[in-house]
Homo-oligomer: A and B are copies of this chain.
Amino acid sequence: VTTSAPRTARARARAELTAEIKAVARRHVATNGAADLSLRAVARDLGMVSSAVYRYFPSRDDLLTALIVDAYNAVGEAAETAEAAVRHTDLLRRWLAAARAVRSWAQDNPQEYALIFGSPIPGYQAPQDTVDPATRIPLLLVTIIGEAVAPPDDLVLPRPVGRDLRRLRDQVAPSMSEPRLARAVMAWTHLIGSISFELFGHLVGSIDDYSAWFDFQMKELGRGLGLTSTSR
Residues on A lying within 8 angstroms of B by beta carbon are 32-33, 35-36, 111, 114, 117-123, 126, 131, 134, 155, 157-158, 160-161, 163-164, 168, 182, 185-186, 189-190, 192-194, 196-197, 200-203, 205-209, 212-213, 215-217, 220
**What chain B residues lie within 8 Å of A185 (beta carbons)?**
203, 206-207
7 contacts between A and B (CB under 8 A): A158-B212, A161-B212, A163-B208, A168-B207, A186-B190, A186-B217, A193-B193
A164 touching B197, Cβ below 8 Å: no
Q: Which residue of B lies closest to A131 (CB)?
A: B205
Query: In the assembly, what is the distance between CA of A55 and CA of B16, in Å?
Result: 52
A120 touching B126, Cβ below 8 Å: no
A120 touching B200, Cβ below 8 Å: yes
User: Which of B33, B161, B197, B201 is in CB contact (< 8 Å) with A189?
Assistant: B197
Identical chains in the assembly = 2
B201 touching A164, Cβ below 8 Å: no
A158 touching B32, Cβ below 8 Å: no
Q: Which residue of B lies closest to A157 (CB)?
A: B216
